[in-house]
C-alpha cells in the first residue's frame, strides 16, 4: 500500500473530477502527441518503399505526402463535426453504433483498440530508435529501454490525467519546438542552397517505379494520420465548453502535424536523403542542418521524447473507449470503474501490458511493427465517416448538405486508403490485424451475451415472490482452539441457525488435545471430527457440505472461517492462507457456496 501511494499518489474524491479536466494547452500535449510524433517516421516509411525503385525515386515523396496532407485536411474537418455531434466521446464506435448498427460499431471498436496498442509499441520503439541513432552503443538494449519507458508512462497515467498532462507537457512542447526549429532553418538552408549532402547516389535513375510501388509508399506514409481520432474519443476530458475546446485543439494539432510532416518530407526530398539501418531520417536531417553539436543532440532528445510520449495519447484514448464498451456490456464492467486517481486504471494497465508484450515479440523493431500499424485506424476512419453520412441523410438539420459532402468525401478517401493499406500490407502482417479484429468482435459479443444471460437469470419478474425463510446451518472449520476461533463461534451464535464446528483429523494426537480444549471453550457447540486418510482439509470439508445439501437441498449453508490478520503485510506469508484458498463449488447448492 505504501509503495502504491508513493507511485500513484493519494486517492482523489469523486467531487474533484471537474478539477481534473484538461485545458487546451495540456490537452494538445496529451492527445496530439501521437499524431504529431508520426512525422518522425512517416517520411522514412515512404522513402523505404520508394528507394526500391532507385535513389532518384525519392522525389515522388512530395506528391505522395501531398495526398496524405489532403487526408489530414479531410479528417480534421470530419472529426470536428463528430466532436460537436457526439460530445460524450467515443469517436468511431459511438458514431457507428448510433448510425450503422452493432457489427460495424464493434469492428470500429476492435480496430481502434488494436491501433492504440500498436501506437504505444510503435511510438516507444521509434523513440528508442531516435536515441540509439545518437548513441549507437545502446542499440542492443533497445527492448529493455522500451519496456522501462512503457512502465514509466503507465505509472504517470495512473497518477491522473491532469498530473500526467502537466508532467508530459513540457517535454512534448520542447520536442515540437525543436523539430519546428529544424524544419524552419533546414528549409531555409535548402532554399538558399547552404547545405550540401555528400551522397553519390542522388542522381541515380528511377528504376521499376510502378503504380503498385507508389501505392505501397502511400500506404506506408499513412501512418502520419494515425492518432487523429484520439481527441474525438476523449471530448469529456476537456474543460467546459468541451466540444469547442476539443475542436480548437483538433485544428491546432492538424496545423502542427501538417507543417512538420511536409517540412521533413521537403528536406528529405531536396537533399536526396536515403534511409539507413542505424540512423533515422530525422537524425540525418539534423546532422545536415546543425552538424554534430549541441543542437543536433537537442533534436534527437526532442524526437525521442515526442515519440515515447506519443504513447501517452493512447493511454488517454484506450481506457476511455474501453469504459464506454463496458457500459454497453461489451467489456468487463471493471473497465468502466474509476481508480483512486479518477482514471480508468484497469484500462491503463491492460494497455501497458499488451504493448510490452508486442514490443518484446517484435524485438523493439519499428519497421517490423509499422506494417501492422494504420490498418486498424483507417478502418475506424471509414466507418466513422460512413456513419456520419448516414446521420446527415436521416437527421438532416441545418447545413446538412454541406456536412454530407464533407463526410462523404471523408468516407470515400479513407475507404480508398483502407483498401490500399489492406492490399499492400496484407502479406506483410496486416492480416494479423484483421484476424485480431475478428477475435475481438467475437469476444465483445460473448461478453455481451454473458451479461444478458446473467441479467435474465437474476432479474425479477411479475411471477417472482419474496422467498420464504429457509433453515440456515453455520459451518465453522477449525484447526485449533484460540481467540480467533472463539470469536468466530461467538459470531455464529449471533446468527440464526444450527452451528456445526468441524475439525479434519490430520494428526490424531493434536485432535485429541483440541477436543479436550473444546470441551472447555466451545461455548456448548458440538465439535465434529472428520476423517481424512489423505490429509485433505478442503475436500473433507466440501464432502461434508455436499452431504448436508443432498439431505436438505433447500437449506442455506454459511461457512465462517476464523482468520488471523497480521499487523504487517509481510507477516501474512507466515500463516496459512486457508481463507483465501480457491475451492471447487459443491455439485449441489452452487448458489449457496461462493459469492
Residue 448 scores a pLDDT above 70 = yes
Q: Once rounded to an integer, what is the mean pLDDT over residues 196-215?
A: 60
Please tell me which of 375-389, 414-428, 439-453, 481-495 the model is most confident about, judged by mean pLDDT.
Answer: 439-453
163 versus 118: the higher-pLDDT residue is 118
Identify the pLDDT of residue 592.
Answer: 37
- pTM, entire model: 0.75
290 versus 463: the higher-pLDDT residue is 290
| Cell numbers 453520412: residue | 389
Q: Once rounded to an integer, what is the mean pLDDT over residues 522-547?
A: 86
575 band by pLDDT with thresholds 50, 70 and 90: low
3 band by pLDDT with thresholds 50, 70 and 90: low
Identify the pLDDT of residue 156.
Answer: 86
Identify the pLDDT of residue 15.
Answer: 67
The residue among 478, 511, 386, 375 whose CA lies nearest residue 432 is 375
| Least reliable range by pLDDT among 257-271, 293-307, 472-486 | 293-307
Q: Once rounded to an integer, what is the mean pLDDT over residues 197-225?
A: 68
Alpha helices in 135-210 (DSSP H): 142-158, 161-192
Identify the pLDDT of residue 579.
Answer: 55
Go through the domains of the chain in sequence order and give each one's CATH number.
Answer: 2-196+213-452 (1.20.1740.10), 472-592 (3.40.50)
5 band by pLDDT with thresholds 50, 70 and 90: low
Residue 586 scores a pLDDT above 60 = no
Residue 203 scores a pLDDT above 50 = no
Sign of CA dihedral 140, 142, 143, 145: positive
Q: Three cell numbers at 196?
A: 550540401
582 versus 318: the higher-pLDDT residue is 318
Residue 26 scores a pLDDT above 80 = yes
Q: What is the CA radius of gyration of the chain?
A: 31
At 146-162, the pLDDT tens digits run 899 899 888 888 887 77
Residue 156 makes CB contacts below 8 A (sequence gap 6+) with 163, 164, 167, 168, 312
Q: What are phi and psi of 133, to 5 degrees?
A: -65, -35
Identify the pLDDT of residue 220.
Answer: 81
Identify the pLDDT of residue 19.
Answer: 63
Sheet order of strands, 498-505 included? 527-531, 498-505, 472-478, 556-559
Please tell me which of 127-136, 291-300, 306-315, 529-538 the model is most confident about, judged by mean pLDDT.
Answer: 291-300
How high is the mean pLDDT of the chain? 83
445 versus 198: the higher-pLDDT residue is 445
Q: Three cell numbers at 308?
A: 515515447
At 215-262, the pLDDT tens digits run 888 888 887 888 788 888 778 888 888 889 999 999 999 999 999 999
Q: Are the C-beta atoms of 549 and 592 separated by less than 8 Å?
A: yes
269/263 Cα distance (integer angstroms) = 10
140 band by pLDDT with thresholds 50, 70 and 90: confident
Give the helix/strand (H/E) hosting 311: helix 294-327
200 band by pLDDT with thresholds 50, 70 and 90: very low
Identify the pLDDT of residue 185.
Answer: 93
Identify the pLDDT of residue 582.
Answer: 46
Beta-bridge partners for 485? none
| Least reliable range by pLDDT among 75-89, 481-495, 531-545, 575-589 | 575-589
Per-residue buried b or exposed e for 436-471, using 16+ beta carbons within 10 Å of the residue's own CB: bbeebbeebeebbeebeeeeeeeeeeeeeeeeeeee
- SS3 of 476-532: the string is EEECCCCHHHHHHHHHHHHCCCEEEEEEEECCHHHHHHHHHHHHHHCCCCCEEEEEC
At 115-129, the pLDDT tens digits run 889 888 888 887 787
Q: Are the C-beta atoms of 564 and 527 separated by less than 8 Å?
A: no
194 band by pLDDT with thresholds 50, 70 and 90: low
Q: What are phi and psi of 53, to 5 degrees?
A: -100, 10
At 27-68, the pLDDT tens digits run 888 888 888 888 888 898 899 888 887 777 778 899 999 999
Amino acid at each position: 500500500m505504501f509503495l502504491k501511494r508513493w507511485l500513484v499518489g493519494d486517492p482523489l474524491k469523486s467531487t474533484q473530477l471537474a478539477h481534473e479536466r484538461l485545458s487546451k494547452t495540456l490537452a494538445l500535449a496529451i492527445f496530439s502527441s501521437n499524431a504529431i510524433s508520426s512525422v518522425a517516421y512517416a517520411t522514412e516509411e515512404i522513402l523505404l518503399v520508394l528507394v526500391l525503385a532507385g535513389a532518384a525515386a525519392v522525389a515522388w515523396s512530395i506528391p505522395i505526402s501531398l495526398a496524405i496532407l489532403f487526408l489530414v485536411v479531410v479528417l480534421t474537418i470530419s472529426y470536428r463535426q463528430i466532436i460537436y455531434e457526439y460530445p460524450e466521446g467515443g469517436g468511431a464506435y459511438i458514431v457507428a453504433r448510433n448510425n450503422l448498427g452493432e457489427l460495424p460499431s464493434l469492428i470500429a471498436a476492435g480496430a481502434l483498440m488494436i491501433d492504440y496498442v500498436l501506437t504505444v509499441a510503435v511510438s516507444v520503439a521509434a523513440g528508442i530508435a531516435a536515441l540509439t541513432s545518437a548513441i549507437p552503443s545502446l542499440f542492443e538494449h533497445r527492448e529493455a529501454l522500451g519496456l522501462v519507458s512503457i512502465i514509466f508512462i503507465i505509472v504517470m497515467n495512473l497518477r491522473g490525467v491532469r498530473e500526467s498532462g502537466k508532467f508530459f507537457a513540457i517535454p512534448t512542447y520542447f520536442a515540437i519546438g525543436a523539430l519546428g526549429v529544424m524544419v524552419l532553418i533546414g528549409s531555409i538552408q535548402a532554399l538558399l542552397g547552404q547545405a550540401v549532402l555528400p551522397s553519390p547516389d542522388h542522381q541515380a535513375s528511377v528504376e521499376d517505379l510502378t503504380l503498385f510501388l507508389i501505392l505501397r509508399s502511400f500506404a506506408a506514409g499513412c501512418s502520419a494520420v494515425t492518432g487523429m481520432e484520439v481527441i474525438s474519443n476523449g471530448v469529456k476530458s476537456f474543460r467546459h465548453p468541451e466540444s469547442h475546446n476539443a475542436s480548437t485543439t483538433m485544428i491546432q494539432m492538424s496545423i502542427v502535424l501538417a507543417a512538420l510532416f511536409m517540412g521533413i518530407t521537403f528536406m528529405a526530398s531536396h537533399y536526396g536523403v536515403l534511409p539507413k539501418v542505424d540512423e533515422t531520417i530525422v537524425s540525418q536531417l539534423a546532422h545536415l542542418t546543425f552538424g554534430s553539436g549541441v543542437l543536433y543532440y537537442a533534436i534527437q532528445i526532442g524526437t525521442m521524447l515526442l515519440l515515447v510520449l506519443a504513447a501517452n495519447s493512447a493511454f488517454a484514448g484506450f481506457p476511455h473507449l474501453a469504459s464506454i464498451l463496458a457500459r454497453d456490456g461489451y467489456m468487463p464492467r471493471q473497465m468502466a470503474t474509476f481508480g483512486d486517481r479518477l482514471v480508468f486504471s484497469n484500462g491503463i494497465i491492460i494497455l501497458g501490458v499488451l504493448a510490452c508484450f508486442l514490443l518484446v515479440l517484435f524485438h523493439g523493431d519499428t519497421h517490423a511493427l509499422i506494417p501492422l500499424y494504420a490498418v486498424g485506424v483507417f478502418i475506424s476512419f471509414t466507418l466513422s465517416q460512413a456513419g456520419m453520412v448516414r446521420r446527415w441523410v436521416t437527421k438532416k438539420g441545418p447545413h446538412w448538405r454541406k456536412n454530407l459532402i464533407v463526410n462523404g468525401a471523408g468516407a470515400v478517401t479513407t475507404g480508398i486508403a483502407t483498401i490500399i493499406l489492406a492490399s499492400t500490407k496484407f502479406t506483410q502482417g496486416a492480416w494479423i490485424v484483421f484476424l485480431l479484429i475478428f477475435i475481438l468482435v467475437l469476444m465483445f459479443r460473448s461478453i455481451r451475451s454473458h451479461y444478458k444471460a446473467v441479467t435474465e437469470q437474476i432479474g425479477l419478474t411479475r411471477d417472482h415472490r419474496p422467498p420464504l425463510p429457509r433453515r440456515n446451518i453455520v459451518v465453522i472449520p477449525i484447526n485449533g482452539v484460540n481467540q480467533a476461533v472463539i470469536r468466530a463461534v461467538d459470531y455464529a451464535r449471533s446468527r440464526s441457525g444450527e452451528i456445526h464446528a468441524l475439525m479434519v483429523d490430520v494428526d490424531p494426537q493434536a485432535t485429541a488435545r483440541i477436543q479436550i480444549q473444546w470441551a472447555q471453550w466451545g461455548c456448548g457447540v458440538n465439535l465434529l471430527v472428520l476423517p481424512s486418510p489423505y490429509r485433505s482439509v478442503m475436500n473433507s470439508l466440501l464432502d461434508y457440505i455436499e452431504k448436508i445439501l443432498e439431505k436438505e437441498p433447500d437449506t442455506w449453508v454459511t461457512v465462517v472461517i476464523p482468520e488471523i490478520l497480521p499487523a504487517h503485510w509481510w507477516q501474512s506469508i507466515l500463516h496459512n492462507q486457508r481463507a483465501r484458498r480457491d475451492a471447487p463449488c459443491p455439485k449441489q447448492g452452487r448458489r449457496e457456496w461462493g459469492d
